[in-house]
Chain A
Amino acid sequence: MNWNLRPILVAIWRSPTGALLVALQVALALAVLVNAAGIVQQRVQKVGRPNGMDTPNQFVVAVSGFTREFDYTAMLATDLAWLRGLPGVVAASVTSAVPLLDSGSSAGIRNAPGLKAGRQANIFEMDEQGLAALGVRLVAGRAFSAEEILPPAQGNQALPQILLTRALARVLFPDGDALGRQVYDPLDRPITVTGIIEHMHGNWVDWDKLDHVAIVPRVPEGPQALYLVRTRAGERDALMRRVEEHMATSDPTRLLLWVRSMSSIERRAYLADRNLAIFLTAVTAALLLVAALGIFGLATYNVAARTRQIGTRRALGARRGDIVRHFLLESSLVTTAGATAGVALALAAGYWLSVTWQLPRPGLLHLSTGVAAVWIIGLLAAWQPARRAAAVPPAVATRTV
């Protein structure tokens, strides 16, 4: 076997422009690939993270009273009774907010009175079926009972008890078990932690405290109301239609605003992240394709320009394999040069992106996978021209071109 690189290097040295152009394309493509892969991976993880709920079997109903005759409390009682009586409904609760709906309230919760800094948390007001409707798991303590639910009240009114997610409990009580401990409201009144929720998501997907959630036993203020309904598996869609029909007409003093499945709310919440991932993936794939085309073009050009020389080599005894190897080697050399520059470029771009816009920096795994991918693409792209070179008959050497 002849692994002599010298003639290849000489050939590249003599007409470096084409090789340089392709190497640059490879470098850029690799830099984009590596950084895009980092960002895409981050978004895919974000979109796919569990929200702790029974998402496929949940939906939300929004209604709003608007007439003078409207009676908020009566409406809640009627609607909740009707919803809970529907066959197929596991639980239904009125709620002040819906996870991932991009609106709701947050407040600082403190683990000692008089402290200035509270821990920010998503605050949910729900009734005794709240936990069941959310489908979240309680790892300690107990859910609210019906008698414990406070009537709607404006502003900060004293609360006897509260449920925290484990993530929130950990930051409030880093030393250990939060169950039974006291947290304090803005006016320094104590609230007892009566339950710990394993995991659930709050209101805003982009908030770093998304899983810091506190649930309080209180009916939210009117005249708007949100009902979170959880159904038995597979019965959601039928129930949604049924609820929509009923609520649209059941009470003329209020308006049915919308009925949405939890899945569609979740999808909506992650739309921008999902689409960024899709767009990045598509453009990066197209970019690799264009770069591959560049490699293919250069190899094709080289083969065409050297037909006579290939014939001469064949006439002098080179085997088909030698010719294929020659061109693949030449192409790999260009790819390797481009990849080397690309790694440097990827690291520089990644560093800059992370410093300016807090985007993830490409890891070693991304880099090595990227280099391998580019290298394989380079070989595949040069394969066909190399095969064509090998098919050149030795006789062309004797004919003038």
Chain B
Amino acid sequence: MLGYYLRLAMSSLRRSPGLTALMIAAVALGIAVCVTSLTVYQGLSGNPIPWKNDLLHAVTIDNWDPQFPARERHPDQPPTQLAWRDAVALLESDIPVRSVVMFKTAGVLATGTAGARPQRALTRVTSADFFAMFDVPFRFGAGWTAAADQGPEPVIVLASAMNERLFGGANSVGRTLRWNDMEFRVVGVLDEWRPLPKFYDLNNGALQEPEEAYIPWGWGLAAELPSAGSWNCWKPEPLASFRDFVQSECVWLQVWVELADAGARQRMQSLLDTYARDQQRAGRLPRPLNNRLTPVDRWLADNDVVGSDDRVLVGLAFAFLAVCLLNTVGLLLARFQRGAVTTGVRRALGASRRQICLQHLTEAGLVCAAGAALGLALAGLLLWGLRLLYATQDGTRDGIQALAHVAPGSITTALALAVLATLVAGLYPSWRIGRSAPAACLQGRPMGFRHTGRRFVP
């Protein structure tokens, strides 16, 4: 029967191409705007490492000012980063399967080849587990071992784009290069890797690109590398040297742990609490105990990765879709009403309400499917426009540009919206025309018009 309904729908749609085009356009417009805003929203609100969501935890300890919370907008939460001494102390624990302490610094990379321009490279100073913990893909080589952190050994991992710029994309493992004024040996080159949002360090914007180079954690202290990320201090204390800074209450380090199960989680939490109580006894941590192990999804939410503007845009998109669908409902009603006599004939010849309803629902479904297909193409255009809007003239890149692409999620969204649209826009008119009395239809006044005359309303 579906084949028959499809045939009828096709011929009905072909009969008034203007109206059909209008309906498809309305649905397409609504779906396009929705897909566009949802694509960006999904990118922002997505979890880039869902398979490890329950294992990975951001570690935070409240070492802040007794009188003022660290985060104005979330007074209940500890600072998002850790002070050096806390980070180092916690890393000694063997409860986590893996643990990482890290920060971002700025460096300049040079291959020493004549004529090659040195490259500025934001560099992550991190302990060895980073790559395994966050499932970072390698194209060549691998990361380093914990021993290299201790040394620290002069080894470096390059992001693929940096390897492209420095070595033309060749396997550079084993080559040496200068990082600022130090010699480093390349041990690994990453594959394309762009977690969005950049969950492991949200401090300078959730859509920032990953750093272009990675060096062992030990270099932070050994070379007195300053943070190029954000750092915050609250305590009046002398900060005349790098040593002072390291010993201060300033927070500037990201710490993550991978915990195998709930038990490990509990043990880690109690370790944190014990540590914090010890510190309180020693005169530190003046605020109430507030130590957290935060899984990735919660971490993204706590850090307001999705802003109110993004939500407003999604709301707006759905309001827009609603108006488009209301419009389509009206057009479908008009179209079905126009075919009422035919419907009456079909009823007289034995079509049941359900069959009539399904026939018209098929027609609505066809319109919505075409609308969704066109809408998806339109969304591609809108996303392209969005990328243009976010284009910067100065070589910096905005993360939105990375999100504004038709993704598998956009296609699923379009499909889901097509079904939704069919149900929302098609169900009521189809139900109405199915329910209308066949005898009334035959006289050209379907859908229960309340009147006494022969034709439409006087």
Residue ranges of A at the interface with B (Cβ–Cβ < 8 Å): 10-11, 13-15, 17-18, 21-22, 24-25, 28-29, 31-32, 36, 39, 64, 66-68, 70, 103, 116-117, 153-157, 186-188, 224, 255, 257-258, 260, 264-265, 267-268, 271-272, 275-276, 278-280, 283-284, 286-287, 290-291, 293-294, 297-298, 301, 305-306, 308-309, 353, 356-359, 401
9-residue interface stretch from B84-92, B103-111, B360-368, B407-415? B103-111
Residues of B within 8 Å of A275, CB to CB, are 386, 389-390
Residue contact B240 to A154, C-beta cutoff 8 Å = yes
- B436 vs chain A, min Cβ distance (A): 12
Residue contact A25 to B326, C-beta cutoff 8 Å = yes
Q: Does B324 make an interface contact (CB < 8 A)?
A: yes
- B356 vs chain A, min Cβ distance (A): 18
For window 94-131 of B, CB contacts with A under 8 Å fall at 106-108, 110, 118, 120
Residues of B within 8 Å of A21, CB to CB, are 326-327, 329-330, 333
**A286-B29, A294-B326 known, 14 other contacts, Cβ within 8 Å:** A11-B457, A14-B450, A15-B449, A31-B319, A32-B319, A117-B68, A154-B240, A187-B238, A272-B309, A291-B327, A293-B26, A294-B323, A353-B312, A357-B308
Residue contact A286 to B330, C-beta cutoff 8 Å = no
Q: Does B236 make an interface contact (CB < 8 A)?
A: yes
Residue contact B331 to A297, C-beta cutoff 8 Å = yes
Residue contact B309 to A297, C-beta cutoff 8 Å = no
Q: Given A11-B457, A18-B334, A286-B29 in contact, is the A255-B327 Cβ separation under 8 Å? A: no
Residue contact A280 to B120, C-beta cutoff 8 Å = no
Q: Does B140 make an interface contact (CB < 8 A)?
A: no
- A388 vs chain B, min Cβ distance (A): 15
For window 225-240 of B, CB contacts with A under 8 Å fall at 236, 238-240
Q: Does B279 make an interface contact (CB < 8 A)?
A: no
For window 196-219 of B, CB contacts with A under 8 Å fall at 204
Residues of B within 8 Å of A116, CB to CB, are 65, 67
- A282 vs chain B, min Cβ distance (A): 9
- A82 vs chain B, min Cβ distance (A): 21
Residues of B within 8 Å of A271, CB to CB, are 389-390, 392, 398
Residue contact A66 to B316, C-beta cutoff 8 Å = no
> Chain B residue with minimal CB distance to A208?
B72
Q: Once bound together, how far apart are the Cα atoms of A317 and B326, in whole Å? A: 37
Residue contact A359 to B327, C-beta cutoff 8 Å = no
For window 404-458 of B, CB contacts with A under 8 Å fall at 432, 447, 449-451, 455-458
Residue contact B330 to A18, C-beta cutoff 8 Å = yes
Residues of B within 8 Å of A264, CB to CB, are 392-394
Q: Given A14-B449, A271-B398 in contact, is the A156-B238 Cβ separation under 8 Å? A: yes
Residues of A within 8 Å of B26, CB to CB, are 290, 293
Most chain-A Cβ atoms within 10 A of its Cβ — which of B22, B110, B312, B324? B312
Q: Once bound together, how far apart are the Cα atoms of A290 and B320, in whole Å? A: 9
Residues of A within 8 Å of B299, CB to CB, are none
16 contacts between A and B (CB under 8 A): A15-B447, A24-B326, A28-B323, A32-B319, A116-B65, A154-B242, A154-B244, A264-B394, A267-B392, A268-B394, A279-B313, A283-B317, A287-B319, A290-B324, A301-B334, A359-B308
Q: Given A14-B449, A268-B394 in contact, is the A155-B239 Cβ separation under 8 Å? A: yes
Residues of B within 8 Å of A290, CB to CB, are 26, 29, 320, 323-324, 327
> Chain B residue with minimal CB distance to A103?
B204
> Chain A residue with minimal CB distance to B229?
A103
- B388 vs chain A, min Cβ distance (A): 10
Residue contact A276 to B330, C-beta cutoff 8 Å = no
- A97 vs chain B, min Cβ distance (A): 13
- B238 vs chain A, min Cβ distance (A): 6
Residues of B within 8 Å of A358, CB to CB, are 308
Q: Once bound together, how far apart are the Cα atoms of A356 and B245, in whole Å? A: 39
- A346 vs chain B, min Cβ distance (A): 11
- A281 vs chain B, min Cβ distance (A): 11
Residue contact B118 to A66, C-beta cutoff 8 Å = yes
Q: Given A14-B449, A18-B333, A264-B393 in contact, is the A255-B312 Cβ separation under 8 Å? A: no
> Chain B residue with minimal CB distance to A13?
B450
Residue contact A268 to B396, C-beta cutoff 8 Å = yes
Residues of A within 8 Å of B118, CB to CB, are 66, 255
- A300 vs chain B, min Cβ distance (A): 9
Q: Does B148 make an interface contact (CB < 8 A)?
A: no
> Chain A residue with minimal CB distance to B204?
A103
Q: Once bound together, how far apart are the Cα atoms of A111 and B449, in whole Å? A: 77
Residues of A within 8 Å of B309, CB to CB, are 272, 276
Q: Does B322 make an interface contact (CB < 8 A)?
A: yes
Q: Once bound together, how far apart are the Cα atoms of A187 and B240, in whole Å? A: 12
- B336 vs chain A, min Cβ distance (A): 11
Residue contact A308 to B455, C-beta cutoff 8 Å = yes
- A306 vs chain B, min Cβ distance (A): 6
- The listed residue (B67, B316, B398) touching A280 by CB distance below 8 A is B316
Q: Once bound together, how far apart are the Cα atoms of A24 and B330, in whole Å? A: 11
Residue contact A278 to B334, C-beta cutoff 8 Å = no
Residues of A within 8 Å of B110, CB to CB, are 66
- A184 vs chain B, min Cβ distance (A): 10
Most chain-B Cβ atoms within 10 A of its Cβ — which of A267, A283, A305? A283
Residues of A within 8 Å of B389, CB to CB, are 271, 275, 278-279
- A153 vs chain B, min Cβ distance (A): 8
Most chain-A Cβ atoms within 10 A of its Cβ — which of B242, B322, B386? B322
Q: Does B16 make an interface contact (CB < 8 A)?
A: no
Residue contact B324 to A357, C-beta cutoff 8 Å = no
- The listed residue (B65, B244, B392) touching A268 by CB distance below 8 A is B392
Q: Which 10 A-B pairs have the closest CB atoms?
A: A155-B239, A357-B308, A66-B108, A186-B236, A68-B181, A21-B330, A305-B456, A155-B240, A294-B327, A260-B394
Q: Given A31-B319, A309-B458 in contact, is the A298-B394 Cβ separation under 8 Å? A: no
Residue contact B181 to A66, C-beta cutoff 8 Å = yes
Q: Once bound together, how far apart are the Cα atoms of A64 and B392, in whole Å? A: 23
Residues of A within 8 Å of B181, CB to CB, are 66-68, 70
- A350 vs chain B, min Cβ distance (A): 12
Residue contact A287 to B108, C-beta cutoff 8 Å = no
For window 1-60 of B, CB contacts with A under 8 Å fall at 22, 26, 29, 33
Q: Does B263 make an interface contact (CB < 8 A)?
A: no
Q: Given A39-B312, A283-B316, A401-B455 in contact, is the A267-B393 Cβ separation under 8 Å? A: yes
Residues of A within 8 Å of B319, CB to CB, are 28, 31-32, 287
Residue contact A66 to B33, C-beta cutoff 8 Å = no
Residue contact B323 to A287, C-beta cutoff 8 Å = yes
- The listed residue (A32, A66, A187, A359) touching B320 by CB distance below 8 A is A32
- The listed residue (A15, A66, A293) touching B457 by CB distance below 8 A is A15
Q: Once bound together, how far apart are the Cα atoms of A67 and B308, in whole Å? A: 45
Q: Does B75 make an interface contact (CB < 8 A)?
A: no
> Chain B residue with minimal CB distance to A21?
B330
Q: Does B354 make an interface contact (CB < 8 A)?
A: no
Q: Once bound together, how far apart are the Cα atoms of A68 and B181, in whole Å? A: 5
Q: Once bound together, how far apart are the Cα atoms of A116 and B110, in whole Å? A: 47
Residue contact B327 to A17, C-beta cutoff 8 Å = no
Residue contact B312 to A359, C-beta cutoff 8 Å = yes
Residue contact A265 to B334, C-beta cutoff 8 Å = no
Residues of B within 8 Å of A356, CB to CB, are 308
